[in-house]
Amino acid sequence: MFRPVTIGSAAAVLLAALFTPGTAAADGVPPPDKIVIDVVSVNGSGCPAGTANVSVSPDNTAFTVSYSNYIAQVGVGSKPTDFRKNCQLSLNVHVPQGFTYAIAQADYRGFAHLEKGATGLERANYYFQGMSQTAYVNHHFTGPVNDNWQTTDTTEIEALIYAPCGAMRYFNVNTELRVDAGTSDPTKTTSFVAMDSTDSSISTLYHFAWKTCPKPKPPRS
């Protein structure tokens, strides 16, 4: 199960910490060949068509999901449905033969402007196709705040869930942002939480934990 850690700072930086063999898995060494990730589907009010992109790090230790229009808000200029935005990604991760992977850490970041009395929420979970979903991990924000935010969800080594060896299973990522006006005045102010940044795009980083699959036994003669 994910253990949440929340960090907030005006100069927040996404820490793309790489895993060592001792912290990722028993073998833990990334495969030498290139990892290819195909986006099978993107659904949700937080990631309209063309606003979410996926890329893999050169060393195969992580992949990044970048959003350009993911924002939940309440107040002046907001629609009644804008208080909640979500994104559901279905990814086909092509890994070299003989390897499998789990997600050991997920880093999220963005920007929040919450008036006094308003609150925000970022939550996420993931699962492999045909397997049980992990529990949602919630991160709460309380106004007044006008700052960058970063949250990190980590999974203990013994709780890592690996994709089945030799089977193609899509990796599904569900994220959600919510804003509640609370005691603030939504007729005069606007509060929002965004997976966004000053450069109009933001990255969510998912760290791979690698494991080698057992070699298939030769057929009996």
Residues 189, 75: contact at Cβ < 8 Å?
yes
Domain count within the chain: 1
- List the domain range (segments joined by +) for residue 99: 2-211
Backbone angles phi, psi at 83, to 5 degrees: -65, -20
Task: Note the pTM of the prediction, 2 decimals.
Answer: 0.78
* pLDDT band per the 50, 70, 90 thresholds, residue 203: low
Residue carrying the six token digits 């927040």 = 12
* Residues 151, 213: Cα–Cα separation, whole Å: 31
User: Greater confidence, 23 or 47?
Assistant: 47
Instruction: Answer yes or no: is 29 within a domain.
Output: yes
**What is the arithmetic mean of pLDDT over 141-149?**
95
pLDDT of 184 strictly over 90: yes
Tell which residue, 110, 203, 202, 103, has the closest CA to residue 154. 103
Instruction: Answer yes or no: is 45 within a domain.
Output: yes
Three-class secondary structure of residue 81 per DSSP = helix
Instruction: Answer yes or no: is 15 within a domain.
Output: yes
pLDDT of 117 strictly over 70: yes
Residues 104, 187: contact at Cβ < 8 Å?
no
Rg (C-alpha) for the chain, rounded Å, is: 19
Number of H helices, E strands in the chain: 1, 13
51-90 pLDDT tens trace: 888 888 888 888 888 898 999 999 999 999 999 999 998 9
Instruction: Answer yes or no: is 221 within a domain.
Output: no
Please give the single-letter amino acid code of residue 184.
S
User: Greater confidence, 2 or 196?
Assistant: 196
Three-class secondary structure of residue 80 per DSSP = helix
Instruction: Answer yes or no: is 219 within a domain.
Output: no
171-180 pLDDT tens trace: 998 999 999 9
Residue carrying the six token digits 């299973």 = 169
Instruction: Answer yes or no: is 172 within a domain.
Output: yes
**What is the arithmetic mean of pLDDT over 133-143?**
90
Instruction: Answer yes or no: is 216 within a domain.
Output: no
